[in-house]
C-alpha cells in the first residue's frame, strides 16, 4: 500500500474538504489545524504556508496511521507509520521515504533494525526471525543481504560473504570452542539436453567443509586453513 498522504484536496483551490485551524495573513493554513479530506483521510497537526509542516498525525481511511515530523507536506524527520496489515516502521524519513536508521516490525513478528535508503534495507542492519529466533547481522544492498555478514543461531553462527540473500564463497561455522572453515558453491544439477547456458531455477547451494580449527577472529575476509595452521604453529613456538 502507499504510505503517502493525499495532497490533491489538502488546499483551498477546490473548496473541498473540511479544515479547522489557524491561518496566516494570506489566508493559508498556518499553525495548528485539523483537516478532513474528501477521500476520508484525516490530518491533525502543524501547517506552514498551506502545507503540512512540523509535528502531525495523518490517519488513512484504510486504517493506516503516521505520527511524526512533516516538511512541506512530506514525511521528513522522525516518525512512526502503522500499516493496516499490523506492521510498523519507527525511524527516520526523507521526503516520504524510509531513509536513515529505523526499526521495521513485520506482521509475522520478524523485525529489522538498521539503515534504510529509498524505502529499502540498505547499509548495516540486523534482521531477527521470530519463528526460529535466529538473526542475520551484516550488510544490505537494495533490500538484500550482500557482502560481509553472519547468520546467528542458538547453537552456532555462520560468518562469510553473501550475494543476493544467500551465502557465497568462503566462510566458516563457529561452534562452542571451534570453527569449521569451508565454502558455499552451487550444487551440480542435472539438465536436459539443450539447456546448457540457459537460465533455470535458482542454484542450490552446497556447503563444502575444508578444516576445523580453534576459534579465530573474524575480520570480514576469509582465512585459509593453511594460514590458520601457520598461526597455530607460530603461537606454539
**Which residue shows C-alpha cell 503516521?**
66
Q: Chain-centre distance of CA 83, in angstroms?
A: 15
What domains, with CATH codes, occur in the chain?
A: 108-188+205-215 (2.20.110.10)
List, run by run, the mean pLDDT of 10-residue segments along the chain (237 residues). 55 66 96 96 97 98 97 98 97 98 98 98 98 97 97 95 94 94 82 44 82 80 57 50
Q: What is the pLDDT of residue 17?
A: 86
Supply the pLDDT for residue 173: 96
Tell me what pLDDT residue 75 has. Answer: 98
Q: Give the pLDDT confidence score for residue 203 in this predicted structure.
A: 67
N- to C-terminal Cα separation, the chain? 64
Q: How far apart are CA 214 and CA 94, in angstroms?
A: 46
- SS3 of residue 185 by DSSP: strand
pLDDT of residue 7: 52
- In the 8-state DSSP scheme, what is residue 231? H
- Find where cell 539503515 sits: 115
Element (H, E) at 135: strand 135-141
Which of 66, 115, 77, 76 shows the shortest CA–CA distance to 96?
76
Task: Note the pTM of the prediction, 2 decimals.
Answer: 0.82
Amino acid at each position: 500500500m502507499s504510505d503517502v498522504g493525499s495532497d490533491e484536496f489538502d488546499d483551498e483551490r477546490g473548496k473541498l474538504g473540511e479544515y479547522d485551524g489557524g491561518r496566516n495573513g494570506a489566508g493559508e493554513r498556518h499553525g495548528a489545524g485539523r483537516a478532513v479530506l474528501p477521500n476520508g483521510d484525516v490530518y491533525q497537526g502543524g501547517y506552514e504556508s498551506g502545507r503540512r509542516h512540523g509535528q502531525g498525525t495523518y490517519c488513512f481511511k484504510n486504517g493506516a496511521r503516521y505520527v511524526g515530523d512533516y516538511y512541506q507536506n512530506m514525511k521528513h524527520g522522525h516518525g512512526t507509520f502503522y500499516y493496516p496489515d499490523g506492521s510498523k516502521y519507527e525511524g527516520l524519513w526523507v521526503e516520504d521515504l524510509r531513509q536513515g536508521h529505523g526499526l521495521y516490525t513485520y506482521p509475522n513478528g520478524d523485525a529489522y533494525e538498521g539503515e534504510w535508503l529509498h524505502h529499502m534495507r540498505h547499509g548495516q542492519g540486523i534482521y531477527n526471525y521470530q519463528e526460529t529466533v535466529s538473526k542475520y547481522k551484516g550488510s544490505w544492498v537494495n533490500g538484500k543481504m550482500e557482502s560481509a555478514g553472519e547468520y546467528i543461531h542458538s547453537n552456532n553462527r555462520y560468518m562469510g560473504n553473501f550475494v543476493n540473500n544467500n551465502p557465497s564463497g568462503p566462510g566458516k561455522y563457529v561452534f562452542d570452542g571451534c570453527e569449521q572453515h569451508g565454502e558455499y558453491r552451487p550444487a551440480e544439477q542435472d539438465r536436459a539436453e539443450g539447456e546448457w547456458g540457459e537460465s533455470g531455477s535458482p542454484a542450490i547451494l552446497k556447503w563444502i567443509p575444508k578444516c576445523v580449527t580453534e576459534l579465530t577472529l573474524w575480520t570480514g575476509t576469509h582465512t585459509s586453513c593453511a594460514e590458520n595452521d601457520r598461526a597455530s604453529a607460530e603461537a606454539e613456538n
